[in-house]
Chains A and B, each alone.
Chain A
Amino acid sequence: MATLLAPPAGAPESGAALARRPLRSGRDLTLVAIVTTVSLVLFVIVGLPLIRIFAVAFAPEGWEIVTSMLTNPVNRRVLVNTVQLGVIVALIGTAIGFVLAYTQVRVRFRGKRVLHLLALVPIVTPPFALATATISLFGRNGIITNGLLGIQGDVYGLKGLTLVLVISFFPVAYMNFKGMLESLDPSLDEAAANLGASKLRTFLTVTLPMLVPGIAGSVLLLFVESISDLGNPLVLGGDYTVLASRAYIAITGEYSVPAGAAYSLVLLVPALSVFLVQRYWVGKKNVVTVTGKPSGTIDLITAPSLRIPALVISGLVAATVVLLYLTVFVGGFVRILGVNNEFTLRNYQFVLAGIGSDAMFTTTTLALVATPIAGLLGMVIAWLVVRKLKRFAGLMDFVGMLGLAVPGTVIGIGYAIAFNTPWIAGGRQWFPAVAGGSAMLGGAAAIVMVFVARSLPSGQRSGIAALGQISPAIDEASTSLGASSATTFRKVTLPLIRPALLAGLTYAFARSMTTLSPIIFITTPQTKIMTSQILAEVDAGRFGNAFAYCAILIVIVLGVIGLLNLALLHPSLRGIQRRPS
């Protein structure tokens, strides 16, 4: 995820500058074809829904609500809540991510692999898994709060949301800082020591200042992620309403699509602007090359004054993660966790063999379809942006990222508006309806499209970072030997950026399986999606089923990721692989 944050310093700029070749018409038609196809695809899966939702939001009914955001005290409260939640989660999440990354990279202790795994586990988690576990553990009648400590936990609202969102998103900060810390030149620390600085002083005057852009980037990214989250505020919000849940309620409770679009628009503004600031300003100030290879090894810290607090904090976070996930897994095996702890297999039966199995198969299938598309598309876009496009590189990069920068609820509503009905102009159908039960493929197409839109940005970022490391001379050598752009991409570039592709695929699958807000408005009879099923179960109070669903989902995601890793790194497919030594 580190690669999500920082555009690699220096390299791709010079690489792209060196390698930009003007489009020579008649010579490289395949390139023109590729660019056109990609642009069209991006327009359809990202641009169109956004345009449609803007249209609805700016229509009189929607606009009325938008303007009332500051005047209407209720709406103002919602806006304030959203920003408040975002800021708190961003700050705490970044701090925790930093402490864990620092502990992992710099402090001496045993069990580094365990800590690393635990820090990454939340990434594969479906929404509400942690929220429901939190209620069971820390709620008013929670196992820990009431059962163990005898206090009435106040878990609905800001407190509970903060806990769950921090745990959900700190891995993003963790991955980012880990990459940066690993890339820091150890000789800088030695130079500082040589000049008289103690370890603490070195940390404060050398290490920390160099990480400031990473810290800022982390804070901003976590802010965007937390205000876009829908599932947790629905389950855990209580009276604390945020823009995402408000938009959802506008549509499902008040039956008003314009209102939903309006709230989405208001949500879009802070999300997008923060995202832009992070990408185009903070990212450029980075002095640490994230993908650079560190020279030498750094001394691991053994001083107790630093070691003990670091390990204590990391331990607490790790313990919380373990506790929450244990709850999820155990909760699926009892009737009602905390109330009736009788062992039962009914919940798992429901998911694996009963009604739930439908959702399981459909979701996995659709995610598996979307994943290679997203991975490949991400790589192609990265390749076009870094190597081939001159003027429009920035634009394509931006549009590709939109799928992630825009909150899920916004995309979801946009999709429902844009794709529920066919696009008919001049009496002819230009584009069929792809969402909704009466659409082609039973609405599966829209779901695949939204999966792709949401997960290709990560692959795009990994691809751009990886391509920045490869000399453009390699592409040129291939071309001088007679290969077209497409052949070069297929036979030369793609194999070299295989690790980035793998990272992109992994993330795409995990994201598609666990996403809720974009698809909740476009599920159909033929396409039951696991996350919306989980919401229904949580809503109905059937926590057992919900836990079983979540556990199965986590297992599926980890399983597929494991297979992907094995497949792409298998010796027969590996060929000659660049290994960082």
Chain B
Amino acid sequence: MRFFSVLLIMILSACTSKKDETVELQPVCDLQYSRYQATVTGYCQEPAADLPESLDVINKRITIKPLDKIPEVFWFTKKMKYSLVKQETIAPVIFIIAGTGAGHDSAKMLSLQKSFYQQGYHVISLSSPTFANFIVNSTNTTHMPGDLAHDAENLYQVMNLVWAQVQAEEEVTATSFAITGYSLGGAHSAFIALLDEQRQVFNFEKVLLINPPVSLYNSVTILDQYFDLRNNRQSAVAMLDEIIARFSVGYSQQRSSRFDQSSIFNLFKNANLTESELKLLIGASFRMSSSDMIFALDASFNAGAITYKNHKIDKFESLRHSMLRASDITFGDYFDAAMLPRAQRIDASTTKADLIQRYSLYAIEDYLKASDKIYLVTNQDDIILQAGEVEYLQQIFAERAKIFPRGGHCGNLDRFSFVEYLQTTFPTGGY
């Protein structure tokens, strides 16, 4: 546990990060507020919502792609993982889609599971199509994750299989369906809702986008700049070392050797991080999850960018060279060198501008405007939104938009007023 707490400090969560169970449920902290601080430590200045301490989560695995088609290096992640939290009786079902690089059991997912379970839903949690376990087990071999319409197709296929398994093995009966997701998962929910209008398997009664990007490209460009290895490698690396050093000093001065929530907040308080240092932590955490994604894609598709092409990676083989290579790739590179050529192979006339448009909410603007079952919740100071994008969301969703003044990117998912909003938007027992 102890060195995991250090991991927490080093890669403390943006929506992009992995686990940080330690940081939730702390009532109030006395950190200096900023949108970056709220993104890193959570909007801990606001009291936490009254949520169940723990849930009976049923962790499930499902075969999507034949297991012998999965490269040996992914021996630890064969079968797609998801989870179910089940009500005692017949109830509505909600699907939750995780954010960029996050699994079905990320800390943000756990907060959302608790809220929706409390509202009387059976909760099914799915990993993001950018999460390695999803990529490795997906039957998709043509489209790169981030291509929202195709991601929606993949997710839809998985949702159908998962729903069949949950009915058969867990005897869940649904009165109706809803879907939500945070960050990239929010954008995915919107595209899935649109797809479902044609396929009509679930006929979602309600769709909620939580802190979605408006344009994927714009958002990741912002995050790329936070940890600028391309133009400013040495100073970025030096700053990261400096932050770790400052946390170390704080830790050595604290009286107990234990880490708990308040000592972590204290470390942050004493480290007194500047705005650019907080940004760096967010960027580094984003970079870590995008490295995992790139490796999973590269090895699954035999693309040869950071792995040896045509080489079968042994399960004991050193992967450090791939990790170091991946650390050198920004999302911008991924977009130019992987996503764009893939799209052009299908339609040679596709331009970069086309693709940027396609991977954004602009592409389905008319649907979002017209469909009154789709809701949006975000924060005025969400770091992944460019100037003007909050106003755009407000205009598109009009009275179906809820915009909190503070919270950064997904910093308030377990906070009092956010959960209260969920409760009014998703009344108890569904409908």
- A and B interact: no
Chain B residues with a Cβ under 8 A of chain A: none
Chain A residues with a Cβ under 8 A of chain B: none
